[in-house]
Structure 1
């Protein structure tokens, strides 16, 4: 769901035919909350839609190493441990953002991709530590975790990291049919089963991200969305 003046790109509101909406918890990188989240939750409540959540995970800024590197379950005396702790704190920050906005969901999707303006460094081992930390935090808080990406983007950020978590697969500016093709096992990027797939629908009012459940996925919507 779009964020006006987003650090990356905003998007128009969902179509009236939408059955579910996935809300962004971050406004760009980690530790930057979506300033519109409470209003978006209210919008969903009014329409009695199903709500899910996703968060962009990002490599930390320099100041965050000192602030969060020793806060978490990972070994703070190692660089990878500090990075994992920072990822852990990013996720806890997002959970507090959800709570303050009155958003209750059973799961969070972790968005792993390069983003202009706060891109990942080439060190995939370090990047993977941040991602692992975020996954651990959500799981520790009793949330189901899935990952959003593509095979190419995932490889660029975290290399061959395999988490075997459910997948939400992006297809880019294409069609619903092509997006559904991405549900196949040949599009797997970290060892998980496809639950959702997304395509960009270019319209006169702006490009809109549209999502559909993969075959059989609609049976399990309650695992990923809260009905308002």
Structure 2
């Protein structure tokens, strides 16, 4: 009887671990651990079988570029909503992330005024289209416009209810003018804030420094939560919770690690 009881206890513990990890096949799950972890997905996971009931989920809105739509967005949002309720961590059950970029005049579209989406946008960098020296003002408007599009034409219902993470990576197009890149990200933040949505920043310390550099404490990016990539294991992700945040006054809220071909995420204490 003692053996049977022990066997039942072990089986129950293993089952609980699978529930917390979101179940799924052995090839899709990270090494078993006693803590709930989230998963982020986007267009690279189109058509793939994903672990069910992740502790929380973050879905990419774009198809790799800031001006595109993830073709699997609806299906992946439906998957994300299998996350347990109430939430198992401090993270919301479902959040979104968007690609960011500042292509400048090399982009397929570049703003020529401070007006977008039928709104005259208050631009702290001046007037886009006013002539020489307005590049930073136009960068701000480009970011604002991409965020507007993400929230209004990509197929996201009730965009204000989500946390929108700005994915800042060197793989996208950026300017050598870091102040202009910061202006771009501030423009995105301004739009999401205008609809009462929450905003966070995703990157690595190296990539952030290459793109944005040191952000002044007066910037709207200061204090936004940081989501840090780069870990190769849950242990590494936990360690990254104590790494420097991306902007002044920020805290590391979330860290990412890769396991069995999927991106997993740890909610920092």
TM-score scaled by structure 2? 0.67
Of the three residues 225, 233, 236, the one matched with 1:178 is 236
Residue pair 2:53, 2:80 contacting (<8 A) in 1 also = no
Q: Greater relative contact order: 1 or 2 (C-alpha under 8 angstroms, separation 6 or more)?
A: 1
Of the three residues 205, 208, 211, the one matched with 1:157 is 211
Residue pair 1:41, 1:101 contacting (<8 A) in 2 also = no
SS of the equivalent of 1:65 reads: coil
Of the three residues 20, 24, 39, the one matched with 2:60 is 24
Of the three residues 130, 135, 152, the one matched with 1:79 is 135
| CA spacing shift, 1:70–1:47, aligned 2, 3 Å | closer
The higher radius of gyration belongs to: 2
Aligned residues: CA RMSD: 2.5
Distance 1:152 1:26 in 2: 23
Residue pair 1:59, 1:120 contacting (<8 A) in 2 also = yes
SS of the equivalent of 1:128 reads: helix
Determine the structure 1 residue equivalent to 2:15.
none
| CA spacing shift, 1:89–1:32, aligned 2, 3 Å | same
Q: CA deviation at 1:52?
A: 0.8
Determine the structure 1 residue equivalent to 2:245.
188
Of the three residues 172, 195, 210, the one matched with 1:141 is 195
Residue pair 1:112, 1:147 contacting (<8 A) in 2 also = yes
Structure 1 ranges of 4+ moved more than 6 A: none
Residue pair 2:42, 2:59 contacting (<8 A) in 1 also = no
TM-score scaled by structure 1? 0.79
Pairs aligned (count): 203
Distance 1:10 1:198 in 2: 20
Deviation readout 1:88-145 (Å, 9 max, x if unpaired): 01111111146x3436533211111111xx3323221221111111111111110111
* Structure 2 runs not aligned, ≥5 long: 1-39, 86-92, 217-221
* Structure 1 runs not aligned, ≥5 long: 216-228
Q: CA deviation at 1:193?
A: 0.8
